[in-house]
Amino acid sequence: MGFGLQAQDIHFSQFFATPLFTNPAFTGHFDATYRFSGVIRQQWISVSPQPFRTFGGGVDVNGPLGLKPIGVGIHLAQDQAGLSSLTSTHLQIFIAGHIPITSKLKLHLGVSGGGYQQSIDYSRLSFGDQFNGIRYDDQLISADPGNRIDNAMFLNVAGGSFLEYKQSERLRVGLGYALYNINEPDRSFNAAYAVIQQQRHNLHVFSSVPIVAAWDLMPAVQFMRQGTQDELLLGSAIRYHLSTGPVKPQSVQLGLWGRTADALNVSAGFQTGGLYVGGAYDVNLSSLQPASRYRGGWEFAVIYTLSTVREKVKRLRQCPDYL
């Protein structure tokens, strides 16, 4: 008996802390020269003996070689799912352009492309022909995998845009759209049929509004649609500025987010200078809740921005002979 399953691209609850994952247009979109970012997520440990794990990390540059309107970057991600260790590894290269429309309004456009590699370990799965009539025997070699391959590689392309109005660091709003899997690659392990990775649409809004004194409200929303499946994630964080000095500003933030018909998400973050550290936890509220017992997954993200350090030039002046 055969039947079809539906799945989705990897995604993160802290979409506001994974810039290269959210939109290629965010490449080089920050007030420094270099940005290093990383994220790790683990989920479904209450449902599966082999939890799902996702890792991601990258670096992007604002104004490489002095080209200020340009951003470039590279990102590596790996996702491990289920008992079969279904593993996807993604290596993407990014480039973006940042176009000022007015002094406070800017349009960001970006594209990304790279290679995806995925593998599966059939030896970790159990098949019906490994039952010897009395019990399951893991020493029996199953013929079920047949001519399926355990490794596949393909190319993938994405593009995006982001329009942002920025009056100050604390007062800003932006609307973005990104399209992933533009070329709809075939991800099948079996040469007999195709498994097309459908295009994924990502629409998102980010904002920051000062409310009183050192407090900011940071509402955001992300809507994604892939094939017939969609996801809406919305909520807000509230940020308190411990220090607003130009040398080393510091702030803390707490957020509450909801993924419709799926989960409630709580986030927390700390910013000091160019370093941001954040964490989140999903409370599962979907129809899987009887098995998950409300436990979804945890997530940890870090972003570090670094400005170019220029060595101080020593200027020597010769004293005139007549002095």
The reported pLDDT for the residue numbered 49 is 77
Domain range annotation of the chain: 15-124+146-306
CB 130 within 8 A of CB 137: yes
For residue 6, the model assigns a pLDDT of: 57
Q: What is the pLDDT of residue 81?
A: 86
Under DSSP, is residue 20 helix (H, G, I), strand (E, B) or coil? helix
CA distance 269 to 247: 20
Per-residue model confidence (pLDDT) at position 310: 54
pLDDT value at residue 145: 65
* Cα–Cα distance for residue pair 252/254, rounded to 1 Å: 7
Query: Alpha-carbon distance 314 to 300, whole Å?
Result: 44
For residues 189 and 306, what is the distance between their CA atoms, to the nearest angstrom?
A: 42
Chunked mean pLDDT (size 10), the chain, 323 residues: 61 91 96 95 83 93 92 95 86 97 97 93 80 80 69 92 95 98 88 86 97 95 94 96 84 96 94 96 87 86 86 57 61
Beta bridge pairs of residue 126 = none
Beta bridge partners of residue 74, listed in sequence order: 59, 93
The domain at 15-124+146-306 falls in which architecture? Beta Barrel (2.40)
Q: What is the pTM of this model?
A: 0.86
* CB contact set of 38 (below 8 Å; sequence gap of 6+): 55, 56, 57, 58, 301, 302
| Pair 238, 208: CB distance under 8 Å | no
